[in-house]
Amino acid sequence: LKNLVYKFGGSSVRDAKAILRVAKLIAQNNAVKVAVLSATYNTTNRLEWVYSAFEEGDEARAIVRLEEVKHHHQLIFNELCELLALEKDCQNEWQQRLVAETSVPYMHFKRKDSLKTLDFLYSYGEWVSSFLVYFTLHQIPLKRKILWQDAREIILTDDQSQMAEPLLEQMIENAKTIPWLHDDSLILTQGFIGKDPAGETTTLGREGSDYSATLMARLLESSEVTIWTDVRGVASFDPRLIESVLWHDHLSYKEAEFLASGGAKVLFPRTLSPVIDLKIPVIVRSSLETNLGMSCISEQNLKGFALALDNHNPSQLSIIINFDLDKVAFFQPYPEILEMSFDGNYGKLTISSSIALEVTRRIHQDLYSQFNS
Ligand code: ASP
Ligand code: MG
């Protein structure tokens, strides 16, 4: 039994066309057991603006901002109906469900515990995004039953607001008692959100939906997790900040954790911990262009090198060098490096933050030429 977990981030579901693409990716592969959906692009930020108005005591403005978020999803829904050429009756039925689901967050403005309000607002973003994908999947032929499930039934956490810790032992016990986790239905659920022992909504930290996916994979003892994103995998540096990068077909759990905790945007730092023991591979690939290749995080080390920059003051550059290189000679021409230490192939460099990106680009360029020579 192959029971894959697929996870889609905000850029993969940013508009109606993207959602349709995601639904097709899910429908195409019968081995997918769980699809984890994160909020649509920028929605989590917008929900933070709703919250900040609420925090400032301006409930009216909070409501206006929340209406904007709802409206945005309504427009995506309308466009999906058009793309899918949906009959009016069918459209109305789903429209009513959308409206019913989206009236919930308002009740939370009446609560005293405002940090819980933020967790609940966050959950709305993941919820409505998973609803739109669920709706879309219903309109395309599928061999299996699809169930839209609340992730809070599966992801059990402690009660820390905004940075809840999953209670893995409890989750494993609980998962055994949930029949739909173990039949052949396809489960559609949300990332990022969980439930504390009192039954309140919690969240796993910004960008935490990757973590939800690997937790689900741990529960299902999945054969693989795929993190579908807007880049084709893990590169030697953030491809948005630099021209020529190396794309890594493989990297190890240890390397990926080192880069993620060093500030690489492609993975949430805690993502890998649930799957390392069972050696479940984590694939990172692009949902926008599926033919570009991918990265597999498992036990094989990366070829060449990789950098991650943490833009604090001063900046920390994390570096992995897996090819033959005289490090002392290589770094000699960089007086900007304030401190440097290597532990085997893993290095930490300190650079003053105002020039860190520029120096990192030069280091990357020089490593790139050395590696290719
Ligand atoms: N939607 C959440 C966020 O933007 C979780 C995630 O995308 O991973 O932080
Ligand atoms: Mg993400």
Query: Which atom of ligand 1 has the smallest separation from the CA of 10?
Result: 7
pLDDT of residue 173 exceeding 70, the answer is yes
* Structure confidence at residue 369 (pLDDT): 96
Averaged pLDDT for residues 271-298: 96
Does any ligand 1 atom lie closer than 6 A to the CB of residue 134? no
Instruction: Summarize pLDDT for 38-54 with one digit per residue, the tens.
Output: 999 999 999 999 999 98
Taking CA atoms only, the protein residue closest to ligand 1 atom 1 is 39
Mean pLDDT of the 280-297 span: 95
Per-residue confidence band for 21, with pLDDT thresholds at 50, 70 and 90? very high
**Alpha-carbon radius of gyration of the chain:** 22
Q: What integer is the mean pLDDT of 87-93?
A: 90
Look at residue 100 in the predicted model and tell me its pLDDT: 83
* 29-43, 108-122, 141-155: segment of lowest average pLDDT: 108-122
Ligand closest to Cα of 39 equals 1
Question: For a substitution probing ligand 1, which of 8, 43, 44, 212 has the most ligand atoms within 8 Å of its CB?
Answer: 44
Mutate to test the pocket of ligand 1, among 38, 123, 126, 266 (most ligand atoms within 8 A of CB): 38
Tokens found for residue 136: 């879309």
Q: Which residues of 104-128 are buried (b: 16+ CB within 10 A; e: fewer)?
A: ebeebbeeeeeebbbbbbbbbbbbb
Give mean pLDDT, residues 145-153. Answer: 96
From 209, 230, 271, the mutation candidate for ligand 1 (largest count of ligand atoms within 8 A of CB) is 209
User: Is the per-residue pLDDT at 115 higher than 90?
Assistant: no
Chain centre to alpha carbon of residue 281: 16
Q: Classify residue 256 by burial, with Cβ atoms within 10 Å: 0-12, 13-18, 19+.
A: buried
* CB of 206 sitting under 6 A from ligand 1: yes
User: pLDDT-derived band of residue 186, with 50, 70 and 90 as boundaries?
Assistant: very high
Ligand number, closest to the Cα atom of 266: 2
Could you tell me the pLDDT band of residue 106, with boundaries at 50, 70 and 90?
Answer: low
- How many whole angstroms from 91 Cα to the centroid of ligand 1? 29
Distance of CA 237 to the CA centre of its chain: 18
C-alpha distances (whole Å) from 19 to each of 67, 70, 142 are: 21, 17, 16
